Amino acid sequence: MGMFDWTEKPSEVLRQGGVIAPDERLPWPQTAAMGVQHVIAMFGATVLAPILMGFDPNIAILMSGIGTLVFFIITGGKVPSYLGSSFAFIGVVIAATAYAGKGPNGNIGLALGGIIACGILYTVIGAIVQAVGTGWVERLMPPVVTGAVVAVIGLNLAGIPIKNMAASNFDSWMQAVTFTCVGLVAVFTRGMIQRLLILVGLIIASIVYAILANGLGLGKPLDLAGIANAAWFGAPAFAAPVFDAGAMLLIAPVAIILVAENLGHIKAVTAMTGRNLDQYIGRAFIGDGVATVISGGAGGTGVTTYAENIGVMAATKIYSTAVFVVAAAIAIVLGFSPKFGAVIQAIPLPVMGGVSIVVFGLIAVAGAKIWVDNRVDFSQNRNLIVAAITLVLGTGDFTLKFGGFALGGIGTATFGAILLYALLNRGGGTAARQATPQKAA
């Protein structure tokens, strides 16, 4: 049986309408057009994450393309997914490197070593899942735990744009203008523009910034000289990892969050397509883990399956994995364009801060959505206590020190949620059953 089954069932491969399944595809011109749309969908977040960590956005885009191809190969072309920069790494990377929020990260090597460690742990988890199934993952991380952990990622990061990305009163007002622009696009537009709410809101806010700063002199002028001077094509600034035990122990636990994200992605695609993809969960974890290791080895961010691209699939009913091969190829080409990188670097910091407020807030709300979608019962004290303590640990950046190693807010919240749930759930019973994932009707 062929790996992708495209040549063995040609009648099912070339489809002109209706739902296009993962192992089917449209004719190549339409497939290419869909690939462009997926690149646009992942673009804003994949570029924003490295900027917030002081990484090179060109490498992040390049490695997102390479990572997506790796994922495609390891899953045998069965799981439609784009791998982009993961926001789960932002808090721990900033903590591990003491990044100030502006310009290149001087300690990027420490972060890369930790990202590689995370990818290796993630790959090991994938191998275990492939061998024994996913039941243990879902028992270890029921919705009350995963929801709290995801919410904490956003809440822990909240202080970065507010404290570090607005140096003046004008900058603070520009942050407010930016998140208002994103909100207006999200609510009052339709179709593809609405799907690109982050990107479109950022562009509008940048134009407003240029009018107020360059035109009226109210703030630091927008500088476009770097764009004009940058070459169209050239190698990105690759970086080498440094393997430090403290940084690796701090960053590696992010694998737990990536597992939750990937699991949710596959469950969502299963629900949309009507095809059970559970048999590919282990391979999906391995694919994401290997892609993260490769990315960290070159100077890129850790990667994860992207909800933005699930949104595109839900809107178009096209789940063909061939589309993601095209999207990956486009991303790789963009990664080798310094001019593209210069455009990203020219975005004013307060505009990025305003976008960050939206993105971090959406992450926090995504955690709450996990609770709602799975009908987590907060009348049960064990659920209430796990969620309450986890949120405060993460938001308050609760830190535990083990000798010279310090485990910060996201780490303590993640491990705390898992361990606390396991402790409080020892009695089993009705409350425990109600805290596990609900089957779709």
pLDDT value at residue 22: 80
pLDDT exceeds cutoff 50 at 435: no
pLDDT band at 430 (very low <50, low <70, confident <90, very high): very low
Cα distances (angstroms) measured from residue 412 to each of 250, 270, 353? 10, 32, 26
The confidence score (pLDDT) of residue 222 equals 79
pTM: 0.68
Q: What mean pLDDT, rounded, does the chain reach?
A: 80
Predicted confidence (pLDDT) per residue in 264-303, tens digit: 677 767 767 777 777 888 999 999 999 999 999 999 999 9
- Output b/e per residue, 403-423; b: 16+ Cβ within 10 A: eeebbbbbbbbbbbbbebbee
Give yes or no for residue 137 having a pLDDT over 90.
no
Q: What is the pLDDT of residues 46-78, one digit of tens each?
A: 887 898 888 888 899 999 999 999 999 999 988
Lowest mean pLDDT among 61-75, 175-189, 380-394, 424-438: 424-438
Residue 205 has pLDDT above 80, yes or no: yes
- Per residue in 115-128, pLDDT (tens digit) is 999 999 999 999 99
Percent of the chain with pLDDT over 70: 86
